[in-house]
Structure 1
Amino acid sequence: MVSKPRTGKGKSAIVSDEQQTIAQYVPDLQNWPASWRVDDEDISAGREIVAILTPFLEHLLTLGYARKTLLRHREHIWMLGGEMIRHRHENPDRLALPAEALLDELIEEDGGPLIWPTITESEQNSFDATCRKLYQYRNRASLG
Protein backbone atom coordinates (compact mmCIF):
# COMPACT_ATOMS: atom_id res chain seq x y z
CA MET A 1 0.00 0.00 0.00
CA VAL A 2 1.27 3.46 -0.93
CA SER A 3 1.11 5.98 1.86
CA LYS A 4 -0.06 9.45 1.01
CA PRO A 5 2.16 12.44 1.71
CA ARG A 6 1.11 14.28 4.83
CA THR A 7 0.70 17.99 5.32
CA GLY A 8 2.09 19.71 8.36
CA LYS A 9 -1.24 19.19 10.15
CA GLY A 10 -1.39 15.44 9.51
CA LYS A 11 -3.91 15.70 6.67
CA SER A 12 -3.51 13.85 3.40
CA ALA A 13 -2.07 15.83 0.51
CA ILE A 14 -3.87 16.20 -2.83
CA VAL A 15 -2.81 12.79 -4.25
CA SER A 16 -0.11 10.19 -3.71
CA ASP A 17 3.41 10.71 -5.09
CA GLU A 18 2.82 8.48 -8.10
CA GLN A 19 -0.32 10.40 -9.06
CA GLN A 20 0.83 13.99 -8.60
CA THR A 21 0.96 15.57 -12.00
CA ILE A 22 0.63 19.10 -13.23
CA ALA A 23 -2.14 17.93 -15.58
CA GLN A 24 -4.27 16.87 -12.61
CA TYR A 25 -3.46 19.96 -10.57
CA VAL A 26 -3.91 22.46 -13.41
CA PRO A 27 -5.84 20.72 -16.20
CA ASP A 28 -6.52 24.03 -17.98
CA LEU A 29 -2.93 25.31 -17.88
CA GLN A 30 -2.63 25.46 -21.68
CA ASN A 31 -5.78 27.62 -21.76
CA TRP A 32 -4.38 30.24 -19.39
CA PRO A 33 -2.83 32.43 -22.14
CA ALA A 34 -6.20 32.73 -23.88
CA SER A 35 -7.95 33.52 -20.57
CA TRP A 36 -5.55 36.45 -19.99
CA ARG A 37 -5.68 37.72 -23.58
CA VAL A 38 -6.46 41.37 -24.25
CA ASP A 39 -5.27 41.21 -27.85
CA ASP A 40 -3.71 38.57 -30.10
CA GLU A 41 -0.15 39.49 -29.13
CA ASP A 42 -0.92 38.45 -25.57
CA ILE A 43 -1.15 34.76 -26.49
CA SER A 44 2.60 34.42 -27.07
CA ALA A 45 3.35 36.49 -23.95
CA GLY A 46 0.90 34.30 -22.04
CA ARG A 47 2.66 31.15 -23.20
CA GLU A 48 5.95 32.62 -22.02
CA ILE A 49 4.36 33.39 -18.64
CA VAL A 50 3.01 29.83 -18.36
CA ALA A 51 6.49 28.48 -19.18
CA ILE A 52 8.11 30.41 -16.33
CA LEU A 53 5.34 29.70 -13.80
CA THR A 54 4.96 25.96 -14.50
CA PRO A 55 8.11 24.88 -12.59
CA PHE A 56 6.77 26.67 -9.49
CA LEU A 57 3.38 24.97 -9.86
CA GLU A 58 5.18 21.63 -10.13
CA HIS A 59 7.26 22.50 -7.07
CA LEU A 60 4.12 23.17 -5.03
CA LEU A 61 3.00 19.59 -5.73
CA THR A 62 6.11 18.26 -3.98
CA LEU A 63 5.41 20.09 -0.72
CA GLY A 64 2.61 17.85 0.54
CA TYR A 65 0.02 20.61 0.78
CA ALA A 66 -3.64 19.81 1.25
CA ARG A 67 -5.83 19.93 -1.85
CA LYS A 68 -7.50 23.19 -0.78
CA THR A 69 -4.13 24.88 -0.29
CA LEU A 70 -2.88 23.72 -3.69
CA LEU A 71 -6.03 24.95 -5.38
CA ARG A 72 -5.68 28.35 -3.68
CA HIS A 73 -2.06 28.68 -4.86
CA ARG A 74 -3.09 27.62 -8.37
CA GLU A 75 -5.77 30.32 -8.47
CA HIS A 76 -3.29 32.93 -7.28
CA ILE A 77 -0.72 31.98 -9.91
CA TRP A 78 -3.43 32.28 -12.58
CA MET A 79 -4.30 35.74 -11.17
CA LEU A 80 -0.62 36.73 -11.27
CA GLY A 81 -0.40 35.78 -14.95
CA GLY A 82 -3.40 37.97 -15.68
CA GLU A 83 -1.82 40.83 -13.77
CA MET A 84 1.36 40.43 -15.81
CA ILE A 85 -0.63 40.84 -19.03
CA ARG A 86 -2.53 43.82 -17.57
CA HIS A 87 0.72 45.51 -16.51
CA ARG A 88 2.11 45.03 -20.01
CA HIS A 89 -0.82 46.98 -21.43
CA GLU A 90 -0.78 49.72 -18.79
CA ASN A 91 2.88 50.54 -19.35
CA PRO A 92 4.10 50.46 -22.98
CA ASP A 93 7.71 50.08 -21.77
CA ARG A 94 6.76 46.69 -20.34
CA LEU A 95 5.47 45.38 -23.67
CA ALA A 96 9.04 44.66 -24.76
CA LEU A 97 10.09 43.10 -21.45
CA PRO A 98 10.59 39.34 -21.34
CA ALA A 99 8.09 37.66 -19.02
CA GLU A 100 10.79 36.79 -16.49
CA ALA A 101 11.88 40.41 -16.18
CA LEU A 102 8.27 41.54 -15.74
CA LEU A 103 7.70 38.87 -13.10
CA ASP A 104 10.80 40.06 -11.27
CA GLU A 105 9.37 43.60 -11.31
CA LEU A 106 6.00 42.53 -9.95
CA ILE A 107 6.84 40.12 -7.13
CA GLU A 108 9.04 40.82 -4.18
CA GLU A 109 9.86 39.54 -0.74
CA ASP A 110 6.69 41.16 0.67
CA GLY A 111 4.26 39.86 -1.96
CA GLY A 112 2.88 40.64 -5.37
CA PRO A 113 1.14 43.40 -7.25
CA LEU A 114 -2.16 44.88 -6.14
CA ILE A 115 -4.91 43.04 -7.97
CA TRP A 116 -7.25 45.03 -10.17
CA PRO A 117 -10.18 45.17 -9.94
CA THR A 118 -9.64 45.50 -6.24
CA ILE A 119 -10.07 42.40 -4.10
CA THR A 120 -10.59 42.33 -0.33
CA GLU A 121 -7.66 42.86 1.99
CA SER A 122 -7.88 39.24 3.11
CA GLU A 123 -7.82 38.02 -0.51
CA GLN A 124 -4.88 40.32 -1.31
CA ASN A 125 -3.01 38.99 1.74
CA SER A 126 -3.60 35.42 0.58
CA PHE A 127 -2.45 36.29 -2.96
CA ASP A 128 0.65 37.99 -1.50
CA ALA A 129 1.47 34.82 0.47
CA THR A 130 1.58 32.85 -2.80
CA CYS A 131 3.72 35.55 -4.42
CA ARG A 132 6.13 35.40 -1.47
CA LYS A 133 6.47 31.64 -1.97
CA LEU A 134 7.12 32.22 -5.68
CA TYR A 135 9.69 34.91 -4.87
CA GLN A 136 11.49 32.59 -2.44
CA TYR A 137 11.37 29.71 -4.93
CA ARG A 138 12.84 31.86 -7.70
CA ASN A 139 15.59 33.21 -5.46
CA ARG A 140 16.55 29.74 -4.25
CA ALA A 141 16.62 28.46 -7.82
CA SER A 142 18.83 31.34 -8.95
CA LEU A 143 21.27 30.79 -6.07
CA GLY A 144 22.02 27.24 -6.78
Structure 2
Amino acid sequence: MKTPEDICPDFPEWPERWQSVKKDIPYGRGLLQAMRPFVVHLISKGLSKKTIRTHLDNLWLLGGEIIRSVSNFDNYSIPPKENLMRSVDEDGGPYCRHIHSEAHQRSYDATCRKLYKFLLATRQKG
Protein backbone atom coordinates (compact mmCIF):
# COMPACT_ATOMS: atom_id res chain seq x y z
CA MET A 1 0.00 0.00 0.00
CA LYS A 2 1.60 3.20 -1.18
CA THR A 3 -1.11 5.27 -2.84
CA PRO A 4 -4.78 6.03 -2.18
CA GLU A 5 -5.60 4.00 -5.31
CA ASP A 6 -4.08 0.89 -3.70
CA ILE A 7 -6.92 1.01 -1.16
CA CYS A 8 -9.61 2.80 -3.14
CA PRO A 9 -9.17 2.25 -6.90
CA ASP A 10 -11.92 4.77 -7.72
CA PHE A 11 -10.22 7.59 -5.75
CA PRO A 12 -9.35 9.52 -8.96
CA GLU A 13 -13.01 9.32 -10.07
CA TRP A 14 -14.43 11.06 -6.99
CA PRO A 15 -14.71 14.49 -8.65
CA GLU A 16 -16.96 13.08 -11.37
CA ARG A 17 -19.07 11.28 -8.77
CA TRP A 18 -19.42 14.36 -6.57
CA GLN A 19 -20.49 16.62 -9.42
CA SER A 20 -23.85 18.30 -9.66
CA VAL A 21 -22.84 20.57 -12.55
CA LYS A 22 -19.84 20.40 -14.90
CA LYS A 23 -17.81 23.06 -13.10
CA ASP A 24 -17.87 20.89 -9.97
CA ILE A 25 -15.40 18.51 -11.63
CA PRO A 26 -12.33 20.79 -11.71
CA TYR A 27 -13.18 21.98 -8.21
CA GLY A 28 -13.43 18.37 -7.06
CA ARG A 29 -10.06 17.62 -8.64
CA GLY A 30 -8.62 20.45 -6.55
CA LEU A 31 -10.15 18.93 -3.42
CA LEU A 32 -8.73 15.54 -4.29
CA GLN A 33 -5.30 17.07 -4.85
CA ALA A 34 -5.54 18.67 -1.40
CA MET A 35 -6.68 15.40 0.23
CA ARG A 36 -4.09 13.12 -1.40
CA PRO A 37 -1.11 14.10 0.84
CA PHE A 38 -3.23 13.35 3.92
CA VAL A 39 -4.11 9.88 2.65
CA VAL A 40 -0.47 9.20 1.72
CA HIS A 41 0.47 10.32 5.24
CA LEU A 42 -2.02 7.84 6.75
CA ILE A 43 -0.58 5.06 4.60
CA SER A 44 2.98 5.97 5.61
CA LYS A 45 2.02 5.64 9.28
CA GLY A 46 1.41 1.94 8.73
CA LEU A 47 -2.28 2.04 9.60
CA SER A 48 -4.32 -0.99 8.62
CA LYS A 49 -6.05 -1.07 5.26
CA LYS A 50 -9.41 -1.13 7.05
CA THR A 51 -8.58 1.99 9.09
CA ILE A 52 -7.39 3.87 6.02
CA ARG A 53 -10.49 2.74 4.12
CA THR A 54 -12.66 4.18 6.92
CA HIS A 55 -10.82 7.51 6.62
CA LEU A 56 -11.26 7.41 2.84
CA ASP A 57 -14.99 6.77 3.23
CA ASN A 58 -15.23 9.79 5.51
CA LEU A 59 -13.18 11.94 3.12
CA TRP A 60 -15.57 10.90 0.35
CA LEU A 61 -18.46 12.25 2.43
CA LEU A 62 -16.58 15.43 3.32
CA GLY A 63 -15.71 16.14 -0.31
CA GLY A 64 -19.30 15.57 -1.35
CA GLU A 65 -20.56 18.04 1.25
CA ILE A 66 -18.01 20.66 0.20
CA ILE A 67 -18.92 20.25 -3.49
CA ARG A 68 -22.65 20.42 -2.66
CA SER A 69 -22.14 23.66 -0.76
CA VAL A 70 -19.92 25.22 -3.44
CA SER A 71 -22.35 24.21 -6.18
CA ASN A 72 -25.49 25.32 -4.31
CA PHE A 73 -24.06 28.75 -3.53
CA ASP A 74 -22.02 29.12 -6.75
CA ASN A 75 -19.00 29.75 -4.56
CA TYR A 76 -16.18 28.53 -6.79
CA SER A 77 -13.98 31.55 -6.01
CA ILE A 78 -12.62 30.00 -2.79
CA PRO A 79 -9.71 27.73 -3.77
CA PRO A 80 -10.44 24.04 -3.02
CA LYS A 81 -7.57 23.62 -0.55
CA GLU A 82 -8.63 26.73 1.37
CA ASN A 83 -12.24 25.54 1.40
CA LEU A 84 -11.10 22.16 2.70
CA MET A 85 -9.19 23.87 5.50
CA ARG A 86 -12.20 26.06 6.35
CA SER A 87 -14.50 23.02 6.45
CA VAL A 88 -12.69 21.13 9.20
CA ASP A 89 -11.52 22.13 12.66
CA GLU A 90 -10.60 20.75 16.07
CA ASP A 91 -14.23 19.67 16.57
CA GLY A 92 -14.64 17.75 13.32
CA GLY A 93 -16.31 18.44 10.00
CA PRO A 94 -19.37 20.08 8.52
CA TYR A 95 -22.84 18.60 8.73
CA CYS A 96 -23.16 15.55 6.50
CA ARG A 97 -26.67 14.56 5.45
CA HIS A 98 -25.58 10.96 4.80
CA ILE A 99 -24.65 10.18 8.41
CA HIS A 100 -27.41 8.54 10.41
CA SER A 101 -25.73 7.18 13.54
CA GLU A 102 -23.69 8.55 16.41
CA ALA A 103 -20.93 6.02 15.75
CA HIS A 104 -20.62 7.12 12.13
CA GLN A 105 -20.67 10.79 13.19
CA ARG A 106 -17.83 10.15 15.63
CA SER A 107 -15.82 8.39 12.92
CA TYR A 108 -16.44 11.20 10.40
CA ASP A 109 -15.49 13.87 12.93
CA ALA A 110 -12.36 11.94 13.92
CA THR A 111 -11.23 11.87 10.28
CA CYS A 112 -11.97 15.58 9.91
CA ARG A 113 -9.99 16.38 13.08
CA LYS A 114 -7.02 14.36 11.82
CA LEU A 115 -7.24 16.11 8.46
CA TYR A 116 -7.41 19.51 10.17
CA LYS A 117 -4.29 18.77 12.24
CA PHE A 118 -2.47 17.51 9.14
CA LEU A 119 -3.42 20.57 7.05
CA LEU A 120 -2.45 22.91 9.86
CA ALA A 121 0.93 21.21 10.34
CA THR A 122 1.73 21.15 6.63
CA ARG A 123 0.62 24.76 6.17
CA GLN A 124 2.93 25.87 8.96
CA LYS A 125 5.84 24.00 7.34
CA GLY A 126 5.17 25.36 3.88
TM-score by length of 2: 0.91
Query: Partner of 2:97 in structure 1?
Result: 116
Question: What is the rounded CA distance, in whole Å, between the counterparts of 2:12 and 2:80 in structure 1?
Answer: 16
The answer to whether the aligner puts 1:104 opposite 2:85 as a matched pair is yes
Of all paired residues, the percent bearing the same amino acid is 34
The residue type paired with residue 124 of structure 2 is L
**Per-residue deviation at 1:20?**
2.6
2:114 maps to which of 130, 133, 144 = 133
Offset, 1:67: 1.8
Is contact 1:114–1:124 with CA below 8 Å preserved after alignment?
A: no
Gaps of 5+ in 1: 1-18
| Higher-Rg member (1/2) | 1
Q: Give the aligned length.
A: 125
Q: Matches of residues 22-41 of structure 1 in structure 2 within 5 Å?
A: 22-41=4-23
Structure with greater proportional helix content: 2
User: Aligned AA for 1:58?
Assistant: V
**TM-score where L is the length of structure 1:** 0.80
Q: For the residues of structure 1 that align with 2:2 and 2:24, how far apart are their CA atoms?
A: 30
| Alignment check: 8 A CA contact 2:27 2:76 kept | no
| Aligned partner letter, 1:124 | Q
Distance of 2:16 and 2:100 partners within structure 1: 22
The runs of 5 or more residues in structure 2 that have no matched partner are none
RMSD: 1.4
Q: 1:117, 1:68 → 2: CA distance?
A: 20
One-letter code of the match for 1:74? L
Match status 1:74 vs 2:60: no
